[in-house]
Structure 1
């Protein structure tokens, strides 16, 4: 029987992910720390460096020789049911068409398996749940995303053939930034005010102080940080070493001198953040105020970035050979497409001959992969904040998207699971992982190919927000009924 303690454990696993999401959203909407160019840069960092290693890291954890092949068969059966239903709808109904078939397949098949699924399933069902959802993500990366890309490319080639010319897309982003007027007075009071305002907007200035205060309190009264608070901090802090080379001191000293070295370098960083960076900022601001007085006017900076992107001409031939070539070239440029394959190859080799990953290689992967969950949810928050509206499409389409994601997907997996004879916790995990929120990649593909991106945007944003109560409901109901 599910108790409140079990539900709290699930919430504790999910809450840190949403902390990262809120930080991403707030950094754009409330604190105005990032503009669209900054968000694009963070997304590219996540897409091309962090997520491939994140995928590789999780893939290497499984033993391919002990995978649950019944679950994999159930997943294949569920997708076959979806594809068959879409095929019948597209060919034998008046409203059916190929373009909407692609979107329906994307909504009912691609979920956020690694970022949301792994911590959630681990909290619900332990190592079994984690192992199943990783197997599901492997199948998704190696098969279903490839199927979706083939469908997209076929649609693109067909559209090109029908129009008789390749489509061109151009995007122009113009932005101008204004520097706040600075007072001409260079008194210490004015400088202190400027410094204070800038430091108040920079969490690095007081993060160390808050950490020291908590360390003093917790060690004085032997307190432990609440799990929700600890997880919320860790989900972002684990990204630190991979994102900033300034953090190299801690892992380096720990490797050289163990806990003693780590402790010393942390003390040094506390002194640096609490004293010397403040002195440096005071010097910078004093110089800035003095320069402002000398010039007699505040400086204005404007930047205009104009770029236009040309989409490569598509061949008018819609043969499978041409489509496969286009897909292959695009996938070759994206490390996410082969990170999973490389991880699976290593898992096969290491489990076959009982090999361990060399420490240098393991550390190189972990330094970036540990940032995966936090940065992915941060990027989700950035994406949400950059949208004009939470729901970019009509309410009717939004409801259809939610039905496909949270009802159709788990129901088809349940059918496939019963066909192959899955029972117990494995059946529960199979159904719940199918109801995970929409994969961010599905929106990326839809935007790139210009096909119902507004609907996928809504599915990603709204689905992520409503997923917690829905997934907990599935968790409770399944444990009561099955």
Structure 2
């Protein structure tokens, strides 16, 4: 049974994240401390220094992957479920437009409502249904809910997302230092656990001092991103509702299917579903902006989803605790 003390722990874990996010937003919108170019510099600081050290530190000190194998497999099955659902949708659209109404022009515009056979909507739907903000939001949140073992699983899922799921959207791993940092962290963790090694104090301290900046500056950078937008909601209400439903309903539902198929029960099942209900990854918006794939939808889901994630996750936490 989930008590008020458990809810308070979740709020206590999330409040500092919102504080850093609020400072970033206020720095741009109200105080005008940063120009757009300076915000880009902060973003590069996060991408090339804060986040890689943060990811390496957590992976290097994480436990073995043994406890998380089933959750990782369930996450992969969930992504397959999303892909199959999107494939079924595009097949139905193609059949409706090209078989039943062959003379009707296909909805090829990327900004069209998702009712026509547009492959770009499959990519957007996949991003909404699979890519979450695991490191910045999931790590402190799941740690507060279930402890270190849950945090380690979220870190492992974030590694998989950075190494496997994001590179295809980014066109490869060459320009993503977070991929290399995650892989090096996993490699060191495996070697250290196998031969009972400890990282030299000088190296550990040097990494830790940079890693400790990762969470705060990462959320601050998210606040800068929100503050730079002309409007918090830049797409139509229908698309906003669809995006939020994909992120907070379809993604956990797909993960629940994958988890149940692999026999996950108890806290493992709860952690798998909760991590799927985390807010949208900012990286998904960056790729959408680069490739001109419904960046307005991704921007809105990142902003609104991040702001609305606390009550949504608390609701999931309470409901799952009753099962």
Q: Who is 1:3 aligned against?
A: 3
Contact kept, 8 Å, 1:108 with 1:405, in 2: the verdict is yes
Aligned position for 1:125: 146
Matching residue within 110, 115, 123 for 1:102: 123
Identify which of 137, 150, 161 aligns with 2:158. Answer: 137
Q: Which has the larger radius of gyration?
A: 1
> RMSD of the TM alignment (CA)?
1.2
Residues 1:417 and 2:259 aligned together: yes
Pair 1:370–1:87, CA change in 2 (3 A): same
> Does the CA-based 8 Å contact 1:91-1:97 persist in structure 2?
no
- Choose from 343, 353, 368 the match for 2:185: 343
**Aligned equivalents of 2:195, 2:266: Cα separation in 1:** 32
**How far apart are residue 365 of structure 1 and its match?**
1.2
Corresponding residue for residue 201 of structure 1: none
Where in structure 2 are the equivalents of 1:288-437 lying within 5 Å? 327-328=171-172, 331-437=173-279
Counterpart secondary structure, 2:199: coil
Q: 2:68 matched to which residue of 1?
A: 68
Q: Displacement of 1:368 after TM fit? A: 1.2
Deviation at 1:65, TM superposition (A): 4.9
Could you list the per-position Cα deviations for residues 16-68 of structure 1 after superposition, in whole angstroms to 9, with x for gaps in the alignment?
Answer: 00000110111111111111111111111111111111111111122335332
Residues 143 and 151, structure 2, Cα contact 8 Å, conserved in 1: yes
Q: 1:106, CA displacement in angstroms? A: 0.5
Report if the CA contact (8 A) 2:63-2:152 is conserved.
no
CA distance in 2, matches of 1:41, 1:68: 36
Give the aligned partner of residue 57 of structure 2. Answer: 57
Distance apart, 1:92 and its partner CA: 2.6
Q: Contact 1:67–1:135 (CA<8 Å) still a contact in 2? A: no
- Which residue is equivalent to 1:457? 299
Q: Are the aligned partners of 1:86 and 1:101 in contact in 2 as well (CA < 8 Å)?
A: yes
Find the counterpart in structure 1 of residue 288 from structure 2. 446
- What do residues 297-338 of structure 1 show as CA deviations (whole Å, max 9, x unaligned)? xxxxxxxxxxxxxxxxxxxxxxxxxxxxxx34xx22321221
Query: Could you say what secondary structure the match of 1:393 adopts?
Result: coil
**TM-score between the two structures when normalised by the length of structure 2:** 0.91
How many Å separate the matches in 1 of 2:165 and 2:68? Answer: 18
- Distance apart, 1:423 and its partner CA: 0.6
Check conservation: 1:398, 1:455, Cα contact below 8 A.
Answer: yes
Residues in 2 aligned to 1:429 and 1:111: alpha-carbon distance in whole angstroms? 14
SS at match of 1:6: helix
Matched residue pairs, number? 302
Describe the SS at the equivalent of 1:31: coil
Matched, 1:24 2:24: yes
| CA offset digits 1:260-307 (Å, max 9, x no partner) | xxxxxxxxxxxxxxxxxxxxxxxxxxxxxxxxxxxxxxxxxxxxxxxx
Q: Counterparts of 1:258-277 in structure 2 under 5 Å?
A: none
- Please list, as runs of the form range in 1=range in 2, the aligned pairs for 1:240-279 lying within 5 A after superposition: none
Q: Answer with 411-420 or 64-73: which moved more.
A: 64-73
User: 8 Å contact 1:398–1:458 — kept in the other structure?
Assistant: yes
Taking the aligned partners of 1:459 and 1:339, their CA distance within structure 2 comes to 27
Shift of 1:129: 1.8
What per-residue deviation string (whole Å, max 9, x for no partner) do you get for residues 320-368 of structure 1? xxxxxxx34xx22321221111111111111111111111221121111
TM-score, reference length from structure 1: 0.61
Unmatched tracts of structure 1, length 5 or more: 150-326
Mapped to 2, the partners of 1:363 and 1:463 lie a distance apart of 35
